[in-house]
Amino acid sequence: MSDREIDRQLVARAQGGDKRAFELLVEKYQRKLARLLSRFIRDPAEVEDVTQEAFIKAYRALPAFRGDSAFYTWLYRIGINTAKNYLMAMGRRAPTSTEIEAEDAEGFEEGEQLRDINTPESVLLSKEIAETVNATIESLPEELRRAIQMREIEGMSYEDIAQAMDCPIGTVRSRIFRAREAIAEQLRPLLGTSKERRW
């Protein structure tokens, strides 16, 4: 199953009324979209807001998404348009046209009361997360580190990784999983629900 197929299935569920399925897509793409928009908008708080708004628009427009393009491509266009509109409303220079699709993926009203989505703002995870991840990665056994880097950074399939590491696919699967869990274990305290006195 390709990545596009994963998204297609999640979208189908979301279109069928399963809001949680959309939430999974949000979780998958929100940082990627925010990184993209931060090329145009400097203030991190504003990038957050615009990213939020883009996801809200995507959610509302989901019934009209037909799957002609990949979900992220569609989301990306909405994100760019949202950022463009925001910048223009702020009187700032909008990004150049090479970055913006001519086709407008939106077709709904602005300013409607959004009763169906509740959007808590400002959950900002930061350099601390990135540093914890990188520190843990460095401390992993080499075969785990190589496996997860090939998967996440180079985007290789298990089969390709198995070839590169000269091991069975099952071993690749296990190494990637173990690497993720080792890092997750370090991250969980940072993401936990207990209140921590950090300063």
Partner 1 sequence: MMRGLLGTALVPAVGTALVLAVGAAQAQSPETLSWLRKIHEATQRLSYTGTFVYHNGTRSETSRITRYVDGAGDIEKVEVMDGVPREIVRTKDMVRCYLPESRVVKVDRRVDQRTERGFPALVSERFTALARHYELSLGETRRIAGFDCQAVLLSPKDDLRYGYKLYADVKSGMLLRAVTVDSEGNPVEQFTFTQLAIGNVTRDMVKPRHAVRAWRVEHAEAQPTRLAGWGLAAELPGFEKVTELKRRLGESRPVGQMVYSDGLAAVSVFIEPLEGRGDPVRTGLASMGAIHIYTREVANHRVTVVGEAPAMSVQRIADSVEFHRPR
Partner 2 sequence: MKDRISEFMDGELDGEAAGQVIDALTRDAGAREIWRIYHLIGDALRDNGVPTAWEPALMVPGRAQSQPRRARYAALAASLAAVALVGWLALAPQETAVAPVAQQQPPAQQQPPAAAAKASPLRIPLPSGTNDYLLAHQQFSPRVSLQGMAPYVRTVSEQVQESRK
Site for partner 2 in 95-154 (CB under 8 A): 116-130, 133-134, 137, 148-149, 151-153
- Does residue 168 belong to the site contacting partner 2 (CB under 8 A)? no
Q: Give the C-alpha separation, 85 to 45, whole Å.
A: 17
Q: Give the C-alpha separation, 151 to 43, whole Å.
A: 32
Candidates 17-25, 66-74, 78-86, 103-111; binding stretch for partner 2 (CB under 8 A):
17-25
- Does residue 93 belong to the site contacting partner 2 (CB under 8 A)? no
Q: Using CB distances below 5 to 8 A depending on partner kind, what does residue 163 bind out of partner 1, partner 2, none?
A: none
Joined together, the tokens standing for residue 95 give 């990004």
Interface pick for partner 1 out of 111, 138, 153, 193 (rule CB under 8 A): 111
- Cα angle vertex 31, ends 148, 11, to 5°? 90
Burial class for 4, CB neighbours closer than 10 Å (0-12, 13-18, 19+): middle
Q: Using CB distances below 5 to 8 A depending on partner kind, what does residue 90 bind out of partner 1, partner 2, none?
A: partner 1
Sequence-separated contacts (24+) of 12-18 with Cβ below 8 Å: 14/62, 15/62, 15/63, 15/65
Least separation in angstroms between CB 130 and partner 1: 17
Residues forming the site for partner 1 (CB under 8 A) = 42-43, 45, 49, 89-92, 111, 113-114, 120-122, 124, 195, 197-199
